[in-house]
Structure 1
Amino acid sequence: MASIVVAEDDTDIAALLATVLSNAGHTVHTAPNGAEALEAITETNPDLIILDHHMPGMSGLDVAERLRSTDTTANTPVIMLSAAAPAAARGLVDVTISKPVRPKHLVEAADELLAARKTGEHPAHDAATQLVDVERLLAVSDFLTRPAHAATLDRFAEELTRITGVPMAAITLVLNDSVVVAGSYGLPKWVQEAGGVPVEWSPDTIVVAEDVPVLISDSRADEEYASSPLFSISGVRSYASVPLNSTEGHVVGTLCVMDDKPGTCTEDTVQTLHSQRAPALGLLSRVG
């Protein structure tokens, strides 16, 4: 059906992805690093490119930047796979998929991008559409109407700062127009008093829209968020956030940590946040 180049340095994962996509009818070429991926792309002129972010030598982000600056690949659809795709990837790739990758999710994303390429249309992945999804908002509302004890959630957030080593933490619920802080520790006073921030100020919009973690190592180096009040006024430099999913799969909120120092949040931070999603959801579901 289509020609796909997969760049993945883990041979077992590369074999799995190749098998899944081949079984879906596609011709798959694998490459163990960014440099060889670029060679394969030049040779095969693929219909779709799938990039792991962390590879030896050139990262997936480096490869994506090269692809977008080359006429022949500037419009080729690209999927990035990562445990925590950098925020900068959003301007370079069409879809980010969180690791560990769900094979069905990958095939569906690939098929959607390939179909859109044939018709010349761009698939709808915009944040606004996801934020106003009625079923998602009903799921968020269900959590908001529970008589949760803020003190319990605040203690959880405090513990989160201890285990991540990042000084500010929050459990949020995301509506269509605001990010509501359900529990927090160390947040700027004005955020605590307001009870949250507008969605357009927060990277959590990406988390909700794409159901992926977000990692910002230094907000001042990120054009999208450098001027956002959450960062510019509060001085937040480093940020990590992961999605909180309802039992039905809707992204109802996030678990996030932040620091006024750059580089504090890392992929290890994201992995720690992942490990705390279940207990956070448990507290949101049953405290009261």
Structure 2
Amino acid sequence: MAGIDLDNVELRGRLDAITARTAARLGQPVSLVSMVLDTAQFFPGSHGLDGWLADLHGTPAEWSFCATAVRTGTAYVVPDATSDEHQASNPLVTVDGVRSYAGVPIVVDGQILGAHCVLGFQEQTFSEADLAELRRSAQEIGAVLEAYRLAPWPTAP
């Protein structure tokens, strides 16, 4: 992740455009490109954020729905966060009203760097077609991120 120019304004604009398209196609108010670190997640691309999330472009890692997609390397879906045993006490749910989530890993050069997701404020069942759209967009995001490398990635010995 450190080898990608995540502060590049053009890159962020391209990621914002992808998230806007994903939100529209899945009919959700919020879509994110989330980079998950040890203690925080940050959003180099987003659509539909407002309030403090729009101001900070991130959250503590322990609030991150996306961390599960990153950790498992698979899609993570929460149709109703208010009744989900892992998410019901999450401040994004209890304070900010997030109710539903679907996210998939973003892979660059074989490494999972983050997740591409949608968030909703109502209970939502996500179809396999919805997840396929997220995966297509996550692949596009991976290619865009790779195009903004600062330097060649080191190779394994």
Amino acid at match of 1:230: L
Greater CA radius of gyration, 1 or 2? Answer: 1
Change (3 A) 1:207 1:286: same
Task: Rate the CA distance shift 1:230–1:191 in 2: closer, same or farther, 3 A.
Answer: same
- Post-superposition Cα deviations, 1:119-178, rounded to whole Å, max 9, x if no partner, equal xxxxxxxxxxxxxxxxxxxxx222255625322221221111112222210111111111
**2:84 equivalent to 1:206:** no
Q: Secondary structure at the match of 1:226?
A: coil
- Whether 2:43 is the aligned partner of 1:181: answer yes
Structure 1 counterpart of 2:146: 285
* Distance of aligned partners of 1:254 and 1:148 in 2 relative to their CA distance in 1, 3 Å threshold: farther
Do the aligned partners of 1:148 and 1:286 also contact (CA within 8 Å) in 2? Answer: no
Of residues 115, 118, 122, the one that matches 1:257 is: 118
Q: Any conservation in 2 of the 1:172–1:254 contact (CA below 8 Å)? A: yes
Question: By how many angstroms is 1:234 displaced?
Answer: 1.4
How far apart are the structure 1 equivalents of 2:100 and 2:124?
Answer: 6
2:32: which partner in 1? 170
Is the 8 Å Cα contact of residues 201 and 230 (structure 1) preserved in structure 2? yes
Residue 87 of structure 2 aligns to a residue whose secondary structure is coil
The aligned counterpart of 2:16 is 154
Match in the other structure for 1:269: 130
Identity within the alignment, %: 27
Cα distance in 2 for residues equivalent to 1:211 and 1:144: 23
User: How many angstroms apart in 1 are the aligned matches of 2:55 and 2:5?
Assistant: 18
Whole-angstrom CA distance in 2 between matches of 1:264 and 1:202 = 20
Structure 2 CA distance for aligned equivalents of residues 148 and 175 of structure 1: 21
Deviates more, 1:212-221 or 1:264-273: 264-273
1:218 to partner: Cα distance? 0.2
Matched with 1:231 is 93
Match of 2:55 among 193, 201, 209: 193
Name which structure has the greater RCO, CA cutoff 8 Å, separation 6+: 2
Cα-Cα RMSD? 1.9
Unaligned runs of 5+ in 2: 150-157
Q: Which amino acid aligns with 2:128?
A: E
Answer 1 or 2: which has greater helix percent. 1
Alpha-carbon distance in structure 1 between the residues aligned to 2:129 and 2:79: 12
What is the TM-score when the length of structure 2 is the normalising length?
A: 0.85
Cα 1:256–1:195, aligned 2, differ >3 Å: closer, same or farther? same
CA distance in 2, matches of 1:144, 1:202: 23
Q: What secondary structure, in the 3-state scheme, does the structure 2 residue paired with 1:141 have?
A: coil
Alignment partner, residue 153 of structure 2? none
1-side partners of 2:6 and 2:61: how far apart? Answer: 20
What TM-score do the two structures reach when normalised by structure 1?
0.48
Aligned pairs for 1:40-55 (under 5 A) are: none
Aligned residues between the structures:
148
